[in-house]
Amino acid sequence: MADMPDRTGPVDPPGPLARLLHEALTRLPADRASAGLLLAVSGGPDSLALLLAAAELRAAGRLAQVHVATVDHALRPESAAEAIEVACISNALGLSHTVLKWRRDGPLAGNLPAEARAARYALLAREARRVGAGALLTAHHLDDQTETHLLAKARGAAGAAGAALAAMRPWRDLEPGLVLVRPFLSVRKAALVEAVRGQGIAAVDDPSNRDLRFARARLRAELSCQPDQAQLLQALDDAQAQRACEDAALAERIERLTRVGHLSISPLGEFELGRSEPVDVSILSRAVTAVGGGAYPSPRGALESLVHRVRNESDGTATLGGAQVTWSKTSLHLRREYGRNGPPDLVWPAGASQACFDARFDVEAGAEPIARLVPYGRWGRGPLGHRTLPIGVNEAGAIVAAHPALRWKQGETPPALAVCSRVGWRLCADLAIEARSVLTGRPQNAANRGEPVGKGVADTYIRGQVEAACVARREVARAHFQDG
């Protein structure tokens, strides 16, 4: 490892990358602020630039708690040594570091990048909870943005709304209490490489980034032969501006409906909407995804077809995306569909203090060890609204805890699960809504109370301007970082 420069003294003013990091944190909505940060650092030049910027801000007294984690996917022989190298650099900068190992139960199958990404974020989220961090930082950059934009276009998003081509958000809600922040989306990769090289630090070279078996690597190779990307960047800016406008309008509608009592989420994770005005397809899309426990929104065509039925039929019932939708002249109601077998079982993660059942309920570990979370309907009991609620069972299959809303015969009541619905949180995800705590039942960072990560978070944030500010900052960043 190269000798690390001394960064223990004050640094003022900070460098351009540190300024971008500070701006990204201060522009977070106030309810996403937290005392702790977790940096995802792989050892590549992008993430090392993020590490150096965070260390610079911390040395200047502009950040509170900063932790670093490296995920060892164990997909290459060198990965373990590379993680140790990141630990050495982090320690030299005075930052705590943890290596998170991806332990797989069986052979890899299907989409390797997608599986690795899902595992990486799951490990990082668990580590964030362990260290009390409310923000996870990654070093995605402008080159990543353009690739994501073009991949979405290739998948057919060009025929949909322009917002579908807006690529990554500067921040997004990862799970309750944890927000993912990407401060370098306006910066070229070359600038990050140069920043690390300028400090005399050797970055990891991961050959999988150039493996042409993967679509992103092929696209990266094509883009490297196209130095003039002004038209591409303009299309990306336009899509981001459209998404910002749509987000702001959607947030206003949800907030207004909640404020007047026409939109609510029950503790059972059920969605209720008054029919005081025409049903909004964007709200219905989020409601179906949240109530149905889906990973992705339902197809736009299916949603529009359902909205047409609701608007033109006085009453009815339909199913979409795992949700049962029932409507009348006065209200629209969504609950989780049980189907033939109910929501899938969840094997309790080894050593975890909490788990998320069916993407709808956050469950805390109790006094009795839980082997699996299963739907109550597995026993063929209870009304429809109760059958999809979680039950904790031990290795022998005996019930050791249950959702507190469930009703039992006298003498057989098990202990109550410590459970909180995630449906309201998913309905509001990535939107800045003042009524958020009403729908979620708790503030975003209920588990991570503390001082804001950046100064003036509440004073500097303006709803709807995160994406717009990103567009403006990109122009400034281009001036600073063009051609490295």
Phi, psi of 375 (to 5 degrees): -75, 145
Q: What is the pLDDT of residues 268-283, one digit of tens each?
A: 999 999 998 899 999 9
Cβ atoms 377, 388 nearer than 8 A: yes
Over residues 465-476, the mean pLDDT reads 33
> Among 361, 357, 351, which residue's Cα sits nearest to residue 266?
361
Q: Which helix (H) or strand (E) holds 478?
A: helix 466-481
> Among 86, 360, 125, which residue's Cα sits nearest to residue 204?
86
144: Cβ–Cβ under 8 A, 6 or more apart, which residues? 168, 185, 189
pTM of the model: 0.83
pLDDT band for 344, please (50, 70, 90 cuts): very high
Same-domain status, 61 and 121: yes
* Residue 285 forms part of a structural domain: no
Q: What is the pLDDT of residues 7-35, one digit of tens each?
A: 344 445 689 999 999 999 999 988 887 76
Say how far apart CA 401 and CA 84 lie, in whole Å. 41
Rounded to the nearest integer, the mean pLDDT of the chain is 84
Say how far apart CA 240 and CA 465 lie, in whole Å. 11
Same-domain status, 414 and 451: no
- Which of 393, 423, 453 corresponds to the end of one domain? 423
Q: What is the pLDDT of residues 60-85, one digit of tens each?
A: 988 889 999 999 988 888 999 999 99
Say how far apart CA 321 and CA 284 lie, in whole Å. 11
Tokens coding 385: 């609204």
Q: CA 269, 271, 277 angle in degrees (round to 5)? A: 170
* Residue 89 forms part of a structural domain: yes
Domain count, the chain: 2
74: DSSP letter: -
15: Cβ–Cβ under 8 A, 6 or more apart, which residues? 53, 56, 195
Q: What is the pLDDT of residue 478?
A: 30
- Range from 48-52, 56-60, 200-204, 279-283 carrying the lowest mean pLDDT: 200-204
Same-domain status, 97 and 165: yes
Phi, psi of 362 (to 5 degrees): -90, 125
CATH of the domain at 176: 3.40.50.620
81: Cβ–Cβ under 8 A, 6 or more apart, which residues? none
- Which of 423, 454, 472 corresponds to the end of one domain? 423
Q: Give the domain extent around 404.
A: 346-423
pLDDT band for 164, please (50, 70, 90 cuts): confident
Cβ atoms 287, 320 nearer than 8 A: no
Q: CA 438, 441, 444, 446 torsion: positive or negative?
A: positive
pLDDT band for 357, please (50, 70, 90 cuts): very high
Identify each DSSP E strand in 92-190 by its residue range.
96-101, 135-137, 171-175, 178-181
Cα of first residue to Cα of last residue in the chain, in angstroms, is 24
Q: Which strands form 65-72's sheet, in the order they lie side by side?
A: 96-101, 65-72, 36-40, 135-137, 178-181, 171-175
Tell whether the model's pLDDT for residue 414 goes beyond 80: yes
Same-domain status, 35 and 159: yes
pLDDT band for 452, please (50, 70, 90 cuts): very low
* Residue 70 forms part of a structural domain: yes
